[in-house]
Amino acid sequence: MTPAFHYRDGALCAEGVALEDIAARFGTPVYVYSRAAIEAQYDAFAAALSAAPSHLVCYAVKANSNLAVLNLLARRGAGFDIVSGGELRRVLLAGGDPRRIVFSGVAKSREDIIAALDAGILCFNVESPAELERLQAIAAERGATAPISIRVNPDVDAQSHPYISTGLRENKFGVAIAEAPALYACAAAMPNIRVTGIDCHIGSQLTSLAPFVDALERVLAMVDALAAAGIALSHIDVGGGLGVVYGEEHPPSPAEYAAALLARFGNRPHTLLTEPGRAIVARAGALLTRVEYLKDNGDRRFAIVDAGMNDLIRPSLYGAWMGIEAVRPRHDVAAAVYDVVGPVCESSDFLGKNRSLALAGGELLAVTGAGAYSFAMSSNYNSRCRPAEVMVDGDTAFLVRARESFEDLVRGEQLLPADA
């Protein structure tokens, strides 16, 4: 549990609102976010980095791209790390400042680049020589100058799940750090490119400081080598990846993370950029789901709920452990060990395994830590409508995304002509 999600009078609440009331009003499954928790985590990063001569916290939009979430952060002066043209449009629609947007991602399309150039973003994080050439060509066509940093791959093991480790030589991201000086020299000679920074991102859900420090030391050595070669940078982007507590993890706090970075950063004049996503929103969210059936096959007990892997894929995709709590714990039923599974036709459709719960059927459960990479990764598999999203602010719950309807599912589809 987090301060934003707590028990009051025997029932789980988000800030001042009972989750039972949210389920009754909006149905299940439903995502619930705490405004106070999101703002507190962003403020923790901003305060921790305030000792730097200049800094910018660029929220990783991919973690949770709901417009209300983006708008809360834009109001607080956040920057944004985007990876697609769609995320660019979301940030702008939510009131984000384009001058505080960095554009990452390995496959920026021509259309994406044009939209970002026209918007006047802070920086393109270049991930390959081919992308740099495309940027130069498009900027020249439009009589523009593209501000760039190069995402270097420092070959540092993030000690995380292989699917979310991004800083090893074998990963698709960035440019090998040994090859970066030549690419910087090439960029500096291009007439429509302005070299502004350097970027790295080694992975997600890191729970120790050592990989961050290792990567930063390699990046700083590169910055110094570039300066000696006459290429001066204005910012250093250390990426994101700070982990959170889902169960037994013990990640550093934002203050500990910032202190470790700043100790190596010293009194450099560069602006320090970070790209936290999960660490800002993960523990600010929960997924409410209702138990539809209990099933005992003799070997295992199953609590079959109305949320599935299409709503929350992290357990199925990554084997991720997420907390599952009864919204109103029962004391009239003996606890038993259940696999909490969904309605999707896949054996991998589960939210949690071997969970001790007191159930009789019909109970509300809360999957905690579901503010990041949860709704953002949801799908319509099995023709299931995606859940509603609700933001709690004190004692008020706001619908910030309506539940999808069948009409939403089939919009844009059409039958073949009758005579075809």
Q: Any idea which residues carry the catalytic annotation?
A: 345
Cα–Cα separations (whole angstroms), residue 240 to 20, 39, 202: 35, 17, 8
Nearest Cα residue to 353 out of 339, 367, 368:
339
* The residue to which tokens 């960095």 are assigned: 102
Its sign, for the CA torsion 407, 409, 410, 413, is positive
Q: Is 400 within 8 Å of 391 (Cβ atoms)?
A: yes
CA dist., res. 124 & res. 103, Å (int) = 5
